[in-house]
Amino acid sequence: MTDSRVSMPRRSLPAAEDHAARFARQREADRTATAEDYVELIADLLREEGEARAVDLSRRMGVSQATVTATIGRLQRDGLVETKPYRGLFLTEAGTELATAAKSRHDLVVRFLIAVGLDAETAEQDAEGLEHHASDEALAAFARFLAKRDDPI
């Protein structure tokens, strides 16, 4: 039972509670990632195609229709989505807000990745994963980076 608060030697590991907090935050982000992906995609489809049908989500998420039905059920339960059976999907107020936030985060991450040297396609690919795990502080830093690059001095 070594007490790292006393000796403080060549420790690179953070305190256990801090370490645990990081992972907890991570698990939280994982839980919200699916919801964000779905509402973001629904918003995109509504904007670009005029309607968001479950079958389109199924195709674009690469997932069975049964899975979409189940997921939409959870989003509905959580007050993010409304459905009119056989009439496509709609976002609630909360869903729209979440989608807007997700999209602006997504776009920021894409622009940042391109700025540090990724090609557009890879940037899109990576943003899909990174957008859910970047903290507000990180996003702010990305934005500062872009601002400085666009307007040096």
Partner DNA sequence: AACACTTCTTAGCCTAGGCTAACTTTCAGA
Partner DNA sequence: TCTGAAAGTTAGCCTAGGCTAAGAAGTGTT
Q: Which is nearer to a copy of itself, 26 or 104 (CB)?
A: 26
Out of 36, 52, 122, 147, point to the residue binding a copy of itself (CB under 8 A).
122
Q: How far is the CB of 79 from a copy of itself (least distance, A)?
A: 24
Dist. CA 148–CA 153, nearest whole Å: 8
Q: How far is the CB of 33 from a copy of itself (least distance, A)?
A: 8
| 118 is a contact residue toward DNA (CB under 7 A) | no
**93-115 vs 16-49: helix crossing angle, rounded to 10:** 100
Build a one-symbol-per-residue string for 19-58: x at contacts with DNA by CB under 7 A, - elsewhere.
Answer: --------x---x-xxx-----------------xxxx-x
| 63 is a contact residue toward DNA (CB under 7 A) | yes
Between strands 81-83 and 89-91, the pairing is antiparallel
Neighbour tally for 127: CB within 10 Å: 22
The structure tokens 């979440």 sit at 98
Q: Which is nearer to DNA, 16 or 153 (CB)?
A: 16
Build a one-symbol-per-residue string for 126-145: x at contacts with a copy of itself by CB under 8 A, - elsewhere.
Answer: x-xxx-xxxx-xx--xx-xx
Q: Which residues contact 92 (CB under 8 A, 6 or more apart)?
A: 79, 80, 81, 82
Give the distance, in angstroms, between the CA of residue 5 and the centroid of all CA atoms in the same chain.
37
Q: Which residues of the chain form contacts with DNA (CB under 7 A)? A: 1, 27, 31, 33-35, 53-56, 58, 61-72, 74, 83, 85-88
